[in-house]
Amino acid sequence: MTKEPVVAILGATGAVGQEFIRLIEERKFPYSKLKLLASYRSAGKKMTVNGEEYTVEEAKPESFDGVDIGLFAGGSISKELGPEAAKRGCIVIDNSSTFRMDPNVPLVVPEVNPEDIAWHKGIIANPNCSTIIMLMALKPIHDLSPIKRIIVSTYQAVSGAGKEGIDELRDETEAYLKGEEMQPKILPSKSLPKHYPIAFNLIPQIDKFVEKDYTKEEMKMVNETHKMLHDDSIAITATTVRVPVFRSHAESVYVETADELTVDAVRKAIDAFPGAQVQDNPAEMEYPMPLFTSEKYDCYVGRIRKDLYNPKAINLWVSGDQIRKGAALNALQIAEYMLAHDMIH
């Protein structure tokens, strides 16, 4: 497009919405006009973007008239407003899980499957955070030799439960250290009937249980990986666990490939992959840790080593910022890709 796009952020006041604003400023994302939208509860709030003050408006279908790009932070509001915005010619980049497995909606990590952007019909889905971060480490391996099997255990930050999750970890930690009772209200998921403390604890449930005693989060890692790598035959098992970390996820991944790969070849491929960085030097005690991958754009990969028993398997450890590459950054990068490739008109 010749002029700069009109951009709307839906859910501007939440953790991912605020990150959209920070990233638009940091990355100098171009816009001719910006609208901040949210549910009626947050309407009227004032927010500053690039030094200019905005009033958050209540999101309605008409809010998207004349909008070129809708950055949807996530949540149930996407289901109604996604199609309404798309109908009005707005390209929706949606961070909710609503449309991810819709065969008419591309599910995209720009470094992994940019080719899928082309066939969008108005809505492009942003994958689940844990899937994005895993694939940033695995796609370069898949390009060396097709992946046959993945066994992943996650260590997921509370930011995945939004601002409320972050506040809960802080509040519970303070209470615990004072010897007071912790009062969990959010985790493992606000909508579930029971809540457990996350401070100094681990919760081996993220999202609800859906099938065969796997959680929705675990099935997202299976199904979304299949969709983005265009290969439903990859055998994937996930165990997803919430840990008392604020905003970067980590994952322990066992990956089997069709051919035998050297650690050196894997390291080189990951390092050459945009958005991924190898941080892997055992002699110097270098490996990714979530405290230090927070607020970064890239995903960091370390502990890369051959399986001791299967010559076609590699074990690795990946960590990336859940709110950035796991959510807002990836969505914004989809928009940046489309602008760079003149895909927004």
**Which residues form the interface with a copy of itself (CB under 8 A)?**
149, 151, 153, 155, 169-170, 173-174, 177, 188, 192-194, 196-197, 200-205, 209, 212-214, 222, 235-237, 239, 241, 243-246, 250, 252, 254, 263, 282-285, 287-291, 302-310, 313, 315, 317, 319
Provide the minimum distance between the beta carbon of 228 and a copy of itself in the complex, in angstroms, as a whole number. Answer: 18
Provide the minimum distance between the beta carbon of 171 and a copy of itself in the complex, in angstroms, as a whole number. Answer: 10
Provide the minimum distance between the beta carbon of 291 and a copy of itself in the complex, in angstroms, as a whole number. Answer: 4
- Identity of the residue numbered 158: V
Specify binding-site residues: 13-16, 41-42, 100, 156, 159-160, 242, 322
Cβ nearer to a copy of itself, comparing 42 with 205: 205
Provide the minimum distance between the beta carbon of 222 and a copy of itself in the complex, in angstroms, as a whole number. Answer: 7
| CB atoms inside a 10 Å sphere around CB 98 | 21
* C-alpha dist (Å) from residue 279 to 44, 217, 267, 318, 329: 44, 27, 9, 9, 21
Specify binding-site residues for NADP(+): 13-16, 41-42, 159-160, 322
Cβ nearer to a copy of itself, comparing 120 with 247: 247
Give the three-class secondary structure for 184. Answer: coil
d(CA 312, CA 241): 27
CA nearest neighbour of 130 among 98, 154, 95, 109:
154
How are beta strands 123-125 and 46-49 bridged, if at all? unpaired
d(CA 127, CA 199): 27
Provide the minimum distance between the beta carbon of 212 and a copy of itself in the complex, in angstroms, as a whole number. Answer: 6
Specify binding-site residues for phosphate: 100
Provide the minimum distance between the beta carbon of 325 and a copy of itself in the complex, in angstroms, as a whole number. Answer: 17
Cβ nearer to a copy of itself, comparing 308 with 340: 308
CA nearest neighbour of 250 among 152, 170, 328:
152
Cβ nearer to a copy of itself, comparing 39 with 173: 173
DSSP 224-243: HHHHHHT-TT-EEEEE--B-
Cβ nearer to a copy of itself, comparing 73 with 203: 203
Q: Which residues are catalytic?
A: 129, 249
Residue 63 near residue 54, CB atoms below 8 Å: no
Residue 152 near residue 273, CB atoms below 8 Å: no
Phi, psi of 42 (to 5 degrees): -100, -5
Cβ nearer to a copy of itself, comparing 90 with 266: 266
What does the block give as tokens for 309?
């028993």
CA nearest neighbour of 141 among 272, 298, 15:
272
What does the block give as tokens for 106?
């591309």
Torsional sign, CA 298, 159, 74, 101: positive
* C-alpha dist (Å) from residue 299 to 149, 228, 295, 296, 336: 21, 18, 11, 8, 19
